[in-house]
Amino acid sequence: MRPNISDVHMWSPEPLRRLSSHLIEADRQVEDILDEIRRRADAEFTVWKGVGATAAGAHLSGTLRTSSRISIVVRSIADLYAGAANTLGRAYLEARTIADEASFSGMTVTNIGEVFPPSPLSPINLADILQNNQYAEAAATFGRTLSAALDTVECVEHESDEALAIAFRQLAALLEAPPALVSGPIILPDNPTELSAYWNSLSPIEKDSLATRFPTIGNRDGLPALDRDYYNRRYLDSLSTSPDRTYAAVASELRPDMFLLSLSTDGHAVIALGNPDTADNVATLVPGTGTSLSGIGGDLARTTAMFNSARAAAPGSANSVILWSGYNAPPSLPDAGFDSFADGAAPALDKFQDGLRASHDGPASHNVVIGHSYGSTVIGAATTDGASLDVDDLVFVASPGVDADRVSDLRLDSISAADMGEHVYATTAFWDPVQLVPKVLGTHGFDPSDPKFGAQVFESAPGAPGLSIHGEYWNAENPALNTLGRIISGT
């Protein structure tokens, strides 16, 4: 139902945010209880053997799987409440701002959103007539914009209600008898948008059935972040016991507020801070030479620094910053002179960005891709020679070149070539030796931090002679970090 002006002035997003926080906390408490049940059951099954023990183990496994699936839906509902707080907050603020501005301008605003001009002046002269006409036109303009803003609030509320209704139906289905599992040959769509539509048509039990057949299903672009995290953490549990300690290192870095969006046995992982499906702003960091899962802690620290910087730049916005270690990075500096690593990574980066668009809830988010060192070369390969990314802004940090001579050589799906300069940012510290690559070797094209390239160049701390400055752009005292936060948050 369309709100009135009293509703607009009384509404607050805080109850929705508190409800979201309470659901998350309750889910964590339930998870602690389930973990304790698992530990006790494992202890019992070390001594209890036989047919009865096997049956009990199977029953317990099924119960725990269902409980985990319920947890996913509960966290999804919590995210929907948090997302509604953000989207409704913006819609209500817009309506309230218009109503207040109309009142401040001398207009009368009724409770149903009608706007009337002040009592007309006696038309003694031409000035009075013109003044009356101006008031009438202003009232009509305020009335149209306020009506549109109230319609937007009603539309956003309806969309939020529908999304919550779907989630609650999923929760109810989990509490009933399980439906038939997915059977027969399955060919999952490769296109992220098509996969998203197919996935959303399935029940939770059917999704679990598919995950049983495809243990790495959480790696597929287009699936919701909550589901990707759920299945990938299960997959990580199976890998963490392998002799390769790399995956144990990944497990040790994961926190409850992170989303494991991808994990593969060829040494790749994608981890998000904040849910990209409900965020207003989504940034993806593409790291450079030498990137590996064994050293993922350093890249996650940079990701966290940008997440915190974006939150500081726009305290009221919801942000997600993603570490995309989803490609075979050059293992050494000599290898970084070749374009082959970037060319191989570009299609995967493109598909990942398409997946973020496909799974996002509500209005489109502001998406940014940030390339550090050779990671910027990867972005260049994904935005040149006919390739394009579905993002809003690009950022090149300490770039050795992006295989382009001018910013107009780059391509983004929704940005014209003439406007690219407004959507590309670059920085390189004074003492960072990486700038010698494009200036002396020229192996990856022009230096995007050179003003002649046409990007918006921003300041970094100069650093000191040596290699250490190449990784210091995310230090708290470096002005580059503050600028990264503003770019991510769109401020």
Helix, coil or strand: residue 47:
coil
Exposed / middle / buried, residue 300 (Cβ in 10 Å: 0-12, 13-18, 19+): buried
Site of tokens 């009506």: 147
Contact 423, 394 (CB under 8 A): yes
Residue 47, pLDDT score: 77
HSE of 298, CA atoms in CB hemisphere, 13 A: 12
Question: ∠ CA 260-485-254 to the nearest 5 degrees?
Answer: 20
Beta strands in 33-165 (DSSP E): 108-109, 115-116
Tell me the whole-structure pTM to 2 decimals: 0.72
Helix, coil or strand: residue 389:
strand
Residue 55, pLDDT score: 63
Residue 58, pLDDT score: 65
Residue 36, pLDDT score: 84
Taken in order 205, 210, 214, 217, is the CA torsion positive or negative? negative
Query: What residues pair up with 286 in beta bridges, in sequence order?
Result: 371
Contact 378, 346 (CB under 8 A): yes
Residue 127, pLDDT score: 61
Residue 129, pLDDT score: 64
Residue 237, pLDDT score: 81
Residue 241, pLDDT score: 63
Question: ∠ CA 19-91-368 to the nearest 5 degrees?
Answer: 85
Residue 385, pLDDT score: 93
Residue 443, pLDDT score: 86
Residue 266, pLDDT score: 81
Residues making up the chain, counted from first to last: 491
Distances (CA, A) of 266 to 218, 220, 329: 15, 15, 12
Contact 402, 410 (CB under 8 A): yes
d(CA 470, CA 427): 11
- Segment-wise mean pLDDT, segments of 10 residues, the chain, 491 residues: 90 90 86 82 77 67 76 86 89 93 91 88 62 86 93 90 86 66 74 95 82 88 94 83 71 88 89 94 95 86 96 92 94 89 96 97 94 96 96 97 94 93 96 88 89 96 91 96 97 88
